[in-house]
Amino acid sequence: MPELPEVETVRSGLAPSLTNATVDAIEVLDERSLKRHVGGVNDFISTLTGRTVLGVVRRGKFIWMPLAPKPGDPSDWKIALVGHLGMSGQMLLRNVGHAPDKLTRVIIHFTEADGLKTEFRFVDQRIFGSLAIDVLVPTADGKPGGFSDGVAAGTWWENLIPASAAHIARDPLDPDFAEKAVLTKLRSKNTGIKRALLDQNLLSGIGNIYADESLWATKLHYDQPASSISAAKAKELLEAVRGILAQAVKVGGTSFDEQYKNVNGESGYFEISLNAYGRKGTSCNRCGAEMVREEWANRGSHFCPRCQRLKR
């Protein structure tokens, strides 16, 4: 599943073209990609057509685009187009006339602010991702809803977030990430530390890849109880998470197959920097021991059995 670096790469790729772009028309090729839009296909099309996108925002793995009110309708709801990539979703930007992309589920035709015609194509192999229109609600802490390159500053939608994403905690790269509070909650959990890192209600954006990488960096076993970790070690772990996520963003995230691409259809390059994830059977880059993979929570955990011992 795309994690924070991949989703941020997509967000930053969409923003220059779609900020202040207007929706001209919509083609729904597979209704299943609108399964989270409560009004159905016709409502999605009628509500979105003619709208102007005001920005592209991200919190954790959610992307949303606040929409300008329709002209002459002062009672219009404060709404946004919300997207989630799920396991295999892609958000591609294509010029008009570009060759079809396989497994395209929805096409949104835009006119950019400079008049250029652009197609936004939502491609999804496994159809776990989705697009929907959702109401915007105030953030619980009264601070900006998510990351938007500063475009949101001073706008009516700066401190709003889609209702469907309001339960998601801030991610470690968010300027308003409350590190002290997160550390306190993290160390109060009796679950394994990896399970705690994947809890999107505690901190968002981290999935299997970057959890394994961060735990390797701090020599922690994935099943070490979070409550048994010292305050200093927990702080070291969060610093590692932040550094690894930031580095992955710089190189466009991690691509192991054709399922994750940026908005231009290109792969990310963080795979070459991985120290744990996907490295079963190779030598640990720190001590030389053979890396292993163990089944865990319907997925796998990659770690070094020598460097990352479980401490009872």
Could you read off the pLDDT of 145-190 as tens digits, one per residue?
999 989 999 999 999 999 999 999 999 999 999 999 999 999 999 9
CA separation for the pair 241, 215 (Å, rounded): 9
- Of the residues 11, 51, 61, 94, only one is catalytic, namely 61
The predicted structure's pLDDT at residue 269: 46
User: Mean of the per-residue pLDDT values for the chain?
Assistant: 92
Active-site residue flag, 61? yes
Indicate if 306 belongs to the active site: no
Catalytic residue among 2, 5, 66, 144: 2
- Could you tell me the domains of the chain? 4-165 (3.20.190.10), 179-303 (1.10.8.50)
| List of residues 6+ apart from 242 with CB closer than 8 A | 172, 173
Q: Taking residues 217-233, report their average pLDDT.
A: 97
311 noted as active-site residue = no
Catalytic-labelled residue, pool 117, 126, 299, 309: 299
pLDDT given for residue 71 in this prediction: 76
Instruction: Give the percent of the chain with pLDDT over 70.
Output: 93
Mean pLDDT along residues 116-130: 96
